[in-house]
Amino acid sequence: MSGSDASPAASVLTRRRFFESLAAVGGMSLVLSGMEALGFSQASATELPPTLTGGAKNTKVIILGAGLAGMTAAYEMSKAGYQVQILEARDYAGGRCQTARKGFKHTDLLGNTQVCEFDDGHYINHGAWRIPYHHRSTLHYTKSFGVLLESFVNDNDASYVYFEKGKGPLNGKPVRKGEIAADVRGYTAELVAKAASAGALDAPLSGVDRERFVAYLVNEGRLSKSDLTYKGTEGRGFSVHPGAGVNPGPGKELEPFAFKDVLDSNAWRVLSSVTGYEQQRTMLQPIGGMDQIAKAFEKRVAPMIRYSTVVQKIKQSPTGVTVSFKGPDGKLGEVTADYCVCTIPLSVLKQIDLDASAPFKAAMEGVAYAPVNKIGLQMKSRFWEDRHHIYGGHIYTDLAGIGSISLPSYGWQAQKGVLLGYYAFGGEAARISAKSPADRAAFAVAGGQKVFPEYAENFENAFSFSWHLAEHNLGGWAEWGENGRKEAYPILCEPDGRLYLAGEHLSYLGGWQAGAIESAWQQIAKIHARVQQA
């Protein structure tokens, strides 16, 4: 891949066309360096699918799993002329891109069967549920396929924090996140502004304009300019909202909490002045449920999918891969292809008779899969909106097994709503998932009741999902430890013979749809390069 072909054209093209030309000629890594050369610091190698030009040479590919990785591979390879078949264990496609709505049925590995009873129009995305603005690969397909998006409220200062393992008077009380933020930041700014103003910080401030720094602090902390003191702020609300006429005018600003009390509450742990990479705004979601993405893919690759077909054995030869399976009728069968893209989670793949090298199989042991619980609770009124004036976002708690509660970002002001009653990982998730669905719901309702007094009286029905108890998943996502990422991961990113693994587990975007898609892109590009060379 040399850049020389593209250079002469660059000066007469718009930059967009320039990059498109680069991609056509030199592939994405050239585009990447081209963009960086032009100063696009956030350039990505992962914005577009690989261009698979040069022909498929009658190559057959068998893809295991019709989740986003598998369907991405099938969609792109079939467009490039490959003969593709997908084996999917379930009778529907999508993998972890699932949405539970009325009639959705799930039986977990403990034998609990649930049929979702949400009212029409309500749903819970119990798998993937958010699309960050920088997940360009996911957004590439929503745009290409016309999957309509709406915004997902991922941060809401009006929402509550409920911490009960701290101390002090704020402990065990729902407190609005914005109030905590205003106070701890205000007091800190006051402290710094006063110290800086008195010259106490001149040494660390060397090279920086002290007055400008104090002006910054006044602005950040909403301090009184005259005495650099934090006295609360209108940003944390009023005792009486400003209204019409003279009575009520705006009421007194709410009294700030004491600095010590805010620090003692531990609630500041949910704050960060800058949102982490994965959680940044703007987030998006498909209108009508995350599975709209799965369905958009499925519409395009359905003829290639054999549903209810469970892989039992993967055997390789120098010329191909043979996959044995149990089909929908219970009968055994097998298919042979030139290459295999296997998107089966490692947690499941480990248990399948797999013909791979010893180091490859050893590497598969190097990853754990996360127990992950979610539960949708249908509430007969949207009390969080009507009574508490919270429109979307999360309620962060330190309640074991609850984790966070999330309010829906769709159906604003509808009569009813389905909220996410817990989103919990790890040991606590495993403990709660051992309960019956009814007891899980009771646990979730009891937790939420600590935050919202209206919770229990509004509860109508629930749908819970535990990814570690889901057959064909056995966990929410791959959790690479530091060693696993260093040692096992690179081995599994490379093909073993004619077997190529793909999925979120083979990306640095673990648990995200973008990881699955970009992993598929990477692996099919490798197969294609091999086919071209053969």
Sheet with 83-87: strands ordered across: 305-306, 83-87, 60-64, 339-342, 499-501
Stretch that binds a second copy, among 275-283, 300-308, 357-365, 429-437 (CB under 8 A): 275-283
User: What is the rounded (10 degree) CA torsion for 290, 291, 296, 298?
Assistant: 150
Query: Closer CB to a second copy, residue 216 or residue 307?
Result: 216
CA distances from 218 to 125, 157, 186 (A): 42, 20, 9
To a second copy, the closest distance from the beta carbon of 444 in angstroms equals: 21
Stretch that binds a second copy, among 118-126, 147-155, 295-303, 350-358 (CB under 8 A): 147-155
Q: Tell me the sheet residues that pair with 311.
A: 325
Contacts to a second copy from residues 3-62, by CB under 8 A: 14-16, 32, 36, 41-46
Among 93, 181, 301, 337, binds a second copy (CB under 8 A): 181
Query: Closer CB to a second copy, residue 264 or residue 479?
Result: 264
Stretch that binds a second copy, among 196-204, 332-340, 397-405, 470-478 (CB under 8 A): 196-204
- Report the candidate in 183, 132, 130, 190 with the shortest Cα–Cα distance to residue 157: 183
Q: Does 134 bind a second copy (CB under 8 A)?
A: yes
Burial track 44-70 (b if 16+ CB lie within 10 A, e otherwise):
bbbbbbbbbeeebeebbbbbbbbbbbb
CA distances from 503 to 65, 68, 91, 140, 515 (A): 10, 8, 20, 17, 7
Eight-class DSSP state of 289: -
To a second copy, the closest distance from the beta carbon of 61 in angstroms equals: 18
Q: Tell me the sheet residues that pair with 85.
A: 62
Q: Does 71 bind a second copy (CB under 8 A)?
A: no
Query: Closer CB to a second copy, residue 230 or residue 325?
Result: 230
257 with 267: CB under 8 angstroms? no
Among 55, 169, 199, 243, binds a second copy (CB under 8 A): 243
Among 3, 48, 259, 426, binds a second copy (CB under 8 A): 259
To a second copy, the closest distance from the beta carbon of 202 in angstroms equals: 11
To a second copy, the closest distance from the beta carbon of 312 in angstroms equals: 28
Query: Closer CB to a second copy, residue 104 or residue 141?
Result: 141
- Report the candidate in 531, 520, 533, 527 with the shortest Cα–Cα distance to residue 64: 520
Stretch that binds a second copy, among 101-109, 182-190, 295-303, 435-443 (CB under 8 A): 182-190
What is the dihedral sign for C-alpha 449, 396, 265, 216? negative
Angle at 320 between CA 318 and CA 321, to 5 degrees: 120
419 with 446: CB under 8 angstroms? no
Q: Does 128 bind a second copy (CB under 8 A)?
A: no
Contacts to a second copy from residues 108-127, by CB under 8 A: none
Q: Site for a second copy (CB under 8 A): how many residues?
A: 116
Query: Closer CB to a second copy, residue 68 or residue 116?
Result: 68
295 with 301: CB under 8 angstroms? no
Query: Closer CB to a second copy, residue 422 or residue 489?
Result: 489
Query: Closer CB to a second copy, residue 119 or residue 220?
Result: 220
Neighbours of 534 (CB within 10 A): 8
Query: Closer CB to a second copy, residue 8 or residue 207?
Result: 207
Among 85, 378, 507, 513, binds a second copy (CB under 8 A): 507
Burial track 315-326 (b if 16+ CB lie within 10 A, e otherwise):
ebeeebbbbebe
Q: Does 189 bind a second copy (CB under 8 A)?
A: yes
Q: Does 87 bind a second copy (CB under 8 A)?
A: no
Contacts to a second copy from residues 406-445, by CB under 8 A: 409, 412-413
Stretch that binds a second copy, among 195-203, 334-342, 359-367, 439-447 (CB under 8 A): 195-203
Q: Does 73 bind a second copy (CB under 8 A)?
A: no
Question: CB-side exposure of 235: number of CA atoms within 13 Å?
Answer: 19
Contacts to a second copy from residues 438-497, by CB under 8 A: 453-454, 457, 489-490, 493
Q: Does 277 bind a second copy (CB under 8 A)?
A: yes
Contacts to a second copy from residues 200-219, by CB under 8 A: 200-201, 204-205, 207-209, 212-213, 216-217, 219
Among 34, 256, 345, 392, binds a second copy (CB under 8 A): 392
Radius of gyration for the chain, computed over Cα atoms and rounded to the nearest angstrom: 27
- Bridge pairing between strands 367-369 and 478-480: antiparallel
> Which residue type occupies 107?
T
| Burial class (CB within 10 angstroms; exposed 0-12, middle 13-18, buried 19+) of 218 | middle
